[in-house]
Amino acid sequence: MRPCAAARGGQIAGSDFERVAPRRGSKYPESVQTSEFDYELPPERIAQEPANPRDHSRLMVLHREEGRIEHRRFYELPELLRPGDALILNDSRVIPAKLRARRLPDDKPAEILLLEPAAEQDWWVLAKPARRLKPGARARFVPRRLPAPPLEATVLDRNEEGHRLIRFDAGEDPLRLLSFYGETPLPPYIRRPSGETPADPVRYQTVYAKAPGSVAAPTAGLHFTEPLLERLRAAGVETATVTLHVGLGTFAPVKTDRVEEHPMHAESFELPASVCDAVRRARRAGGRVIAVGTTSVRALETAAQEQGNELRPVRGRTRLFIRPPWEFRATDAMITNFHLPRSTLLMLTAAFAAPGSTRGRELILRAYREAIDRGYRFYSYGDAMLIL
């Protein structure tokens, strides 16, 4: 790992954060079973459509020190935050990363999910059927909108996890061509037998999304509307944006029996000077730093782990795997959705529910049971939780 370089003259230092262990002074148990983060969810609790309007989703408020739970609506958030608080949002924009293709020369169907760029024309992808897309195989992509320039690709390589490296034949930026070929990369538990609906490209995107690069939405931000953000600012809550492009590091399932054996994938992030300034002002005013989503938490905590309490602008890649116990250095409160069993997102949430302790798992699973009993909606298009 390259060391963190200090920011000079307002410039953003480049760095590759590959830390997996907790910061010094904190210890993980020798072994934690992934099954300890399991729970049963009735299928009807998996949200298939988002709340309308966005901010009418339900909001569970977990007061972690008391273990007390409130049940609110997301539009009531200004009543729960305070003047001087800093709300940190992830402005990464979801790209239409799901592509339909025909294999060459047999013209059989295939599906490609873009994961991460490797070079100007090269991307790592998930491919189906993977066994038919070996190095050397070619595919022709099927446009969703016409007229479209032709687009083909060649499989160059595969890694140990079965992901394919493909090279697009296009002589221009493949991202531009996604407007002709790509679909919204909805997770598989949101069922769309005929493909995305007209609403999905808008609703599976935050209202403040700006920097293209995510292949899954930072879903905690899906509940915000522009009027709600204006109400928060009018109430004295400052907003600032990090960028963390959501990829496998966020949504890859934990397949190992032991949590500590899970390989965390790197994701690109940027923490600009505006966030550092907002955090500094919140600290001086006695306010709280409230991260919107696990991705914002990871960006903040990656920088804080390397830099200490005085954050500096930085961009790089993070493999930070936050799980109980974890001492949070940059984040005081968190807005998040209800996550899949055995996921790194659930583990991070459990760590945040009881910083520096392992009891957060029990607290979060109890809150999840109450959410299920009260009819909360789960996962990407589901309801939200505020942990204070």
CA angle 226, 378, 210 (to 5 degrees): 35
HEC sequence for 181-194: HEECCCCCCCCCCC
- This prediction has a pTM of 0.92
Q: Which residue has the higher pLDDT, 145 or 68?
A: 68
CB neighbours of residue 374 within 10 Å? 12
pLDDT tens for each residue of 172-205: 788 889 999 999 999 999 999 888 899 999 999 9
Q: What are φ and ψ of residue 124, in 5° steps?
A: -80, 140
Q: What percentage of the chain's residues is helix, strand, coil (to nearest 5)?
A: 25, 25, 45
Owner of token pair 């990871």: 298
Which of 311, 377, 48 minimizes the C-alpha distance to 186? 48
Task: Report the share of the chain in percent with pLDDT over 90.
Answer: 86
Res 93 pLDDT > 50: yes
- Cα 371 from Cα 383, distance rounded (Å): 9
- Cα 133 from Cα 154, distance rounded (Å): 9
At 172 the pLDDT is 74
CB distance 323 to 347 below 8 Å: yes
Res 133 pLDDT > 80: yes
At 262 the pLDDT is 96
- Lowest-pLDDT choice from 175-179, 208-212, 245-249, 373-377: 175-179
Over residues 292-304, mean pLDDT: 97
At 135 the pLDDT is 96
Superfamily (CATH H level) for 13-94+202-387: QueA-like (3.40.1780.10)
Domain boundaries, the chain: 13-94+202-387, 98-183
Kindly state the greatest CA–CA separation across the chain. Answer: 65
State the architecture of 98-183 in CATH terms.
Beta Barrel (2.40)
Quick one: how far is CA 352 from the chain centroid? Answer: 16
Q: Which residue has the higher pLDDT, 375 or 16?
A: 375
Res 222 pLDDT > 60: yes
pLDDT tens for each residue of 239-285: 999 999 999 999 999 999 999 999 999 999 999 999 999 999 999 99
Q: Which residue has the higher pLDDT, 310 or 40?
A: 40
Res 4 pLDDT > 90: no
At 27 the pLDDT is 60
At 368 the pLDDT is 98
- Cα 203 from Cα 71, distance rounded (Å): 24
